[in-house]
């Protein structure tokens, strides 16, 4: 079940909210847990057992680590082995077997297991809980209901952000509900929904058109690169907005996951603003345990290399993702060694261009089916494939989607947010904004619904995760 679906918006969510707020406080976690399991069962009837098994494993290992401190390292290793073992089995088994067959000319049969939706997200959440219990950063959770609610919480189950147990530990036991939080939650959710339906999906359409056509030109490759960059930002950030909004409705406060990454002036800054929950997870649970930057230069380079190799692999079982991750790792190493100092000496506009160009190239690789396709598309940006600069086919779609491109480019910056905040500083204008904001939110909801009823293009990019 997708957040951007009629069944979720007008059936599942209203029913859950009504039951939840009619339920006494001590039973609210049970309602959330049952709702979350139903939400997951709707899309993954069989693989819900994998998630339940992962939760039980995390719960038992947490108790064992807390009770038998002498052997807690053994229990940590077994917990990590089980969690990562399930992730590798379902997500990477075909990739591993296929590469073994290619290298050794073997003929091992592929397992062809379907990828359980959200397994990368809930695996990392369980791992962070168990590791934090091991490091005594959080108290062990003795209620399996509360731990299962944390892991399976449907607002962030299938598309993140990666919520750490420490972030909502207190709210699992005692959270407040208010009309203000509900209003803020609805506002944030609807804005995310509109970003997904009205912007990301439209950009997805144009990306898909250029991937399928033979009528390519140099400009079409640039249109595709820019469109996909904007699509993936609006899609990913939209789901984070919807998750944060839903969390507020139920009394949870999830951390921000995107902070206008396309205004960055370096790749280092970009990764402080992009998918923050993922980059900080790898920082805290991989990079720092390896020694972080408090080691020699060679080990520092090793640490960065390991983290970005794993970051690429986390995104999918394909060499394109690994190269995508390693590309960022190499750039971050180069920036750390000397490039950041050089960038500080040039005008901001050129730093922005550098970041946007590198990110566009990276996402062309990210979205390619294989390395050969990625190289072909990158060559197309520079006319190396022999296409004309522009043709009538490209011109038609450029005119058709120009408004969406402009809206998306402006929307990917804090320009509108800053303008509204400045206007709100004037009391009269602030009153007008407060009056019309609910109307605008309702209008966005109705327009988004109309698109969904019309069976608009509505892809779910998180299937690969």
- Residues carrying an active site annotation: 315
Per the structure block, which two tokens stand in for 349?
A: 């506009």
Cβ atoms within 10 Å of 104's Cβ, excluding its own: 9
Q: Where are the alpha helices (DSSP H) in 283-344?
A: 297-315, 319-334, 340-343
3-state SS, residue 295:
coil
Cα–Cα separations (whole angstroms), residue 187 to 5, 332, 408, 411, 413 = 17, 36, 19, 17, 19
Cα three-residue angle 265-289-254, rounded to 5 degrees: 60
d(CA 444, CA 448): 6
CB 225, CB 363: distance < 8 Å: yes
Burial of 426 (0-12, 13-18, 19+ CB in 10 A): exposed
- CA dihedral of 336, 339, 342, 343, whole degrees rounded to 10: -90
CB 168, CB 113: distance < 8 Å: no
Burial of 223 (0-12, 13-18, 19+ CB in 10 A): buried
d(CA 350, CA 404): 25
d(CA 141, CA 274): 31
Per the structure block, which two tokens stand in for 16?
A: 């859950």
Strands (E), 175-230: none
Cβ atoms within 10 Å of 393's Cβ, excluding its own: 16
d(CA 116, CA 41): 11
């Amino acid at each position: 079940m997708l957040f951007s679906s009629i069944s979720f918006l007008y059936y599942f969510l209203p029913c859950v909210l009504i039951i939840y707020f009619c339920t006494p406080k001590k039973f609210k976690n049970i309602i959330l847990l049952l709702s979350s399991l139903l939400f997951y069962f709707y899309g993954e009837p069989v693989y819900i057992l994998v998630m339940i098994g992962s939760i039980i494993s995390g719960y038992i290992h947490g108790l064992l680590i807390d009770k038998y401190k002498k052997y807690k390292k053994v229990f940590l290793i077994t917990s990590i082995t089980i969690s990562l073992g399930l992730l590798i089995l379902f997500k990477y088994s075909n990739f591993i077997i296929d590469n073994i067959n290619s290298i050794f000319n073997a003929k091992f049969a592929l397992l062809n297991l379907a990828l359980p939706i959200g397994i990368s997200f809930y695996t990392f959440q369980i791992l962070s809980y168990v590791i934090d219990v091991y490091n005594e950063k959080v108290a062990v959770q003795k209620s399996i209901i509360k731990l299962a609610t944390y892991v399976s919480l449907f607002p962030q189950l299938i598309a993140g952000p990666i919520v750490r147990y420490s972030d909502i530990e207190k709210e699992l036991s005692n959270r407040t509900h208010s009309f203000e939080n509900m209003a803020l939650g609805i506002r944030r959710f609807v804005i995310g929904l509109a970003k997904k339906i009205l912007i990301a999906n439209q950009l997805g359409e144009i990306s898909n058109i250029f991937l399928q056509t033979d009528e390519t030109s140099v400009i079409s490759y640039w249109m595709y690169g820019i469109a996909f960059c904007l699509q993936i930002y609006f899609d990913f950030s939209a789901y984070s907005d919807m998750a944060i909004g839903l969390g507020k409705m139920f009394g949870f406060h999830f951390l921000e996951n995107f902070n206008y990454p396309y205004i960055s002036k370096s790749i280092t800054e970009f990764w402080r603003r992009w998918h923050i929950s993922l980059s900080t997870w790898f920082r805290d649970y991989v990079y720092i345990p390896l020694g972080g930057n408090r080691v020699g230069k060679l080990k520092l380079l090793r640490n960065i290399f390991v983290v970005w190799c794993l970051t690429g692999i986390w995104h999918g079982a394909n060499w394109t993702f690994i190269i995508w991750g390693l590309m960022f790792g190499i750039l971050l190493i180069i920036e750390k060694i000397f490039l950041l100092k050089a960038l500080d000496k040039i005008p901001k506009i050129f730093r922005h261009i550098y970041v946007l160009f590198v990110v566009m190239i990276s996402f062309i690789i990210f979205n390619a089916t294989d390395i050969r396709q990625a190289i072909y598309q990158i060559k197309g940006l520079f006319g190396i494939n022999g296409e004309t600069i522009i043709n009538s086919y490209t011109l038609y779609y450029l005119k058709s989607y120009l408004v969406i491109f402009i809206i998306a480019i402006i929307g990917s910056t804090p320009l509108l947010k800053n303008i509204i905040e400045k206007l709100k500083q004037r009391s009269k204008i602030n009153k007008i904004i407060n009056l019309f904001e609910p109307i605008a939110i309702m209008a966005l909801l109705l327009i988004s619904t109309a698109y969904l009823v019309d069976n608009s293009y509505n892809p779910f990019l998180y299937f690969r995760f």
